[in-house]
Amino acid sequence: MELRKQKIDYITFIQSLAVTLVVIGHSFPKEILTDSLPAWAACIRSLIYSFHMPLFFVLAGFLFVYSFEKKGLGSFKEFFIKKFNRLIIPYIAVGSVAYCLKTFIFNSFAYRPSTPSALFYLKSMLYPLSNPNIYLWFLPTIFIVFLIFYFLVGRKKYIVPIFVFSLMLSVLSDNISISFLNIQGVLYYIFYFVCGIMIFYYKNKLFDLFKNKFFILTTLSIYLSIYLSIYLSIYLRFRRILLKYRLLCAG
């Protein structure tokens, strides 16, 4: 019992960490590869953005199976209504308030101005990345993922094929531009949701593994090394292009 509580405490800590990282990530200006941010700040923001939303979906997948095994999911109708009330109602309510404030008060200051029309409002609800509060895209995306996995949860013997298929969908999602209900985002993030499910199924082995400090440090070192090598390559290439552009403009 104590071990189980300790594992759930780990999940609570990771949830809190993920929320904190989202707040920090969104506190930086949007333009990360310009002179508006020093290189170290741009690197930190980019690092946070490289994993903070996938981490949320991993946690969602883990807790989804945890809830299923603890108390079940009920009928699909009950499950749908519950998730709709918890995710879509807030999405519509907050999105509507944001639309009114942005359109009728702050539109002249907006990075993405909105239009005072019923069609624009409806589109902003059906296309989450067009929502006046674009950060709400997560709610309808995870809602659809939940509905899909209502029919797949509990099928542990099929988890490896599901994992492989979700990985293929995630890789191919860049070429599937369906912005309606952020279907492209669903296809991309569903892989991380499956990762959370797999972590739950193999949590005992993983929990023992993560007790090893050497393993944790090695994993973090490898990730940071790969990330920094990619980031610095892109950043330096951008700086060279920007320098050439300024020379052309000056000359």
In angstroms, the CA 167 to CA 189 distance is 9
- Residue 142 in contact with residue 57, Cβ under 8 Å? yes
Lowest mean pLDDT, pick from 61-65, 133-137, 211-215, 236-240: 236-240
Does residue 241 sit in helix, strand or coil?
Answer: helix
> Average pLDDT of 38-51?
73
Which amino acid is present at 51? Answer: F
- Residue 177 in contact with residue 100, Cβ under 8 Å? no
**Closest Cα to residue 59, out of 24, 28, 18?**
18
**Is the pLDDT at 207 greater than 90, yes or no?**
no
Confidence of residue 3 (pLDDT cuts 50, 70, 90): very low
Taken in order 148, 151, 153, 157, is the CA torsion positive or negative? negative
- Residue 144 in contact with residue 181, Cβ under 8 Å? yes
Which amino acid is present at 204? Answer: N
In terms of residues, how long is the chain?
251
Counts of helices then strands in the chain (DSSP H, E): 11, 0
pLDDT in tens, 84-127: 999 999 999 999 998 888 888 887 777 777 888 889 899 989 99
> Average pLDDT of 224-247?
58
For residue 232 the two structure tokens come to: 């610095």
pLDDT in tens, 133-184: 788 899 999 999 999 999 998 788 888 899 999 999 998 988 888 899 999 9
Helix (H) or strand (E) holding 67: helix 52-71
In angstroms, the CA 226 to CA 39 distance is 18
Average pLDDT, the chain: 79
**Is the pLDDT at 189 greater than 60, yes or no?**
yes
Q: Secondary structure of 146-210 in the HEC alphabet? A: HHHHHCCCCCHHHHHHHHHHHHHHHHHHHHCCCCHHHHHHHHHHHHHHHHHHHHHHCHHHHHHHC
